[in-house]
């Protein structure tokens, strides 16, 4: 995460190339939720209340991410309570990822698995462990507020979605420890999980209508969710490439395209934009197939929510300080 201090240096050629690559991604205009300013204030207070931020530096870093803006862009027509819940969940995911997602220097896969399991259990049960962290307590609050709008079947799916994010972190850890990149297909499989969007996608149902178990398990709908997650990941990777390249981060689509196809940075950024555009076309095709089957209003609303997330995330990412090189 970045300082809020204004930069005085000019962007590097790589940063400029990343911006050009981002501009090549196809999208549509997005009007953020009208309650963005109120949600921003409530989200800042929530993060302080639960101790997710505790000093001036962490407060500034959280503000630079613009979590409430992310929620306003990705839930543009949801009730304000859902947008506020989305902002808090997005905050939880970003700050948890910074603290635990990549593992501490002395963590191994087993240690991370045990840690992650405690959070998944807390979300499923609402019970805090004896050594509860601020993240456990904040997660219980998110759980309780979501359940006021949902039911136990939804909660089970929500906890499973969080578990998929944890699985993605575990899959990436050996590559990150070795400083080695996976191939493109392997990266796609793990990145759809590690990007952490499945839990935030579940909040769509809180305004579009709770899916039945049969609807939530539809193969085409699951495919649409997976592609939507990858689309969010590709935007993340493209904007963060200059920062992650400087940090020698191996888990980035642009770096992987460079390595495995012998491309220079500019061509790899262009190729990453093409990956996004291709996946967006597939997402739209899968959504059309689902709609042609005359699904329920709940499924149609969920598809619209996924589309809002894809395009809202693209519009928001360039505004966030999280992805800028220092």
Query: What parts of the chain have a pLDDT lower than 70?
Result: 1-21, 104-105, 325-326
Domains and CATH numbers, the chain: 32-323 (1.10.600.10)
Q: According to the model, what pLDDT value does residue 110 have? A: 87
The pLDDT value given to residue 17: 57
pLDDT of residue 7: 41
What is the dihedral sign for C-alpha 200, 99, 131, 43? negative
Question: In this prediction, what percent of the chain has a pLDDT beyond 90?
Answer: 86
The per-residue pLDDT for 326 is 57
Q: pLDDT for 146-159, tens place per residue?
A: 999 999 999 999 99
**Token pair of 325, please?**
């090189």
pTM (2 d.p.): 0.93
pLDDT tens-place string over residues 105-121: 677 788 899 999 999 99
Q: Indicate if the alpha-carbon torsion angle 131, 132, 134, 136 is positive or negative.
A: positive
Q: How far is CA 172 from CA 43, 84, 117, 190, in A?
A: 30, 30, 17, 7
pLDDT at 3: 35
- The model's pLDDT over 168-188, given as tens digits with 9 standing for 90+, comes to 999 999 999 899 999 999 999
Positive or negative: CA dihedral 104, 107, 110, 111? negative
Sequence-separated (6 or more) residues with CB below 8 Å from residue 269: 17, 18, 20, 21, 238, 241, 254
Q: CB neighbours of 59 closer than 8 A, spacing ≥ 6?
A: 44, 47, 48, 53
């Amino acid at each position: 995460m970045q300082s809020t201090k204004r930069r005085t240096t000019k962007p590097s050629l790589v940063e400029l190339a990343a911006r050009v690559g981002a501009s090549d991604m196809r999208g549509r205009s997005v009007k953020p939720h009208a309650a963005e300013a109120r949600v921003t204030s409530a989200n800042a207070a929530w993060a302080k209340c639960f101790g997710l931020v505790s000093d001036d530096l962490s407060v500034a870093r959280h503000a630079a991410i613009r979590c409430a803006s992310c929620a306003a862009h990705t839930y543009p027509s949801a009730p304000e309570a859902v947008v506020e819940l989305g902002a808090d969940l997005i905050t939880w995911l970003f700050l948890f990822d910074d603290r635990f997602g990549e593992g501490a220097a002395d963590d191994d896969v087993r240690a991370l698995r045990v840690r992650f399991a405690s959070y998944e259990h807390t979300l499923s049960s609402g019970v805090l462990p004896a050594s509860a962290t601020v993240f456990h307590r904040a997660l219980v609050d998110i759980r309780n507020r979501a359940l006021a709008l949902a039911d136990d079947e939804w909660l089970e799916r929500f906890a499973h979605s969080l578990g998929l994010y944890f699985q993605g972190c575990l899959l990436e850890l050996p590559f990150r420890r070795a400083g080695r990149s996976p191939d493109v297909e392997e990266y796609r499989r793990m990145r759809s999980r590690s990007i952490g969007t499945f839990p935030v996608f579940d909040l769509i149902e809180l305004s579009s209508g709770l899916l039945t178990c049969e609807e939530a398990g539809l193969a085409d709908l699951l495919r649409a969710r997976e592609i939507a997650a990858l689309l969010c990941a590709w935007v993340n990777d493209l904007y963060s490439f200059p920062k992650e390249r400087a940090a020698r981060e191996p888990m980035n689509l642009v770096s992987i395209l460079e390595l495995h196809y012998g491309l220079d940075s500019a061509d790899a950024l262009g190729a990453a934009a093409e990956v996004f555009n291709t996946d967006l076309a597939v997402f739209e095709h899968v959504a059309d197939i689902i709609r042609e089957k005359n699904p329920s209003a709940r499924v149609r609303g969920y598809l619209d929510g996924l589309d809002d997330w894809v395009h809202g995330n693209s519009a928001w990412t360039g505004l966030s300080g999280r992805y800028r090189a220092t």
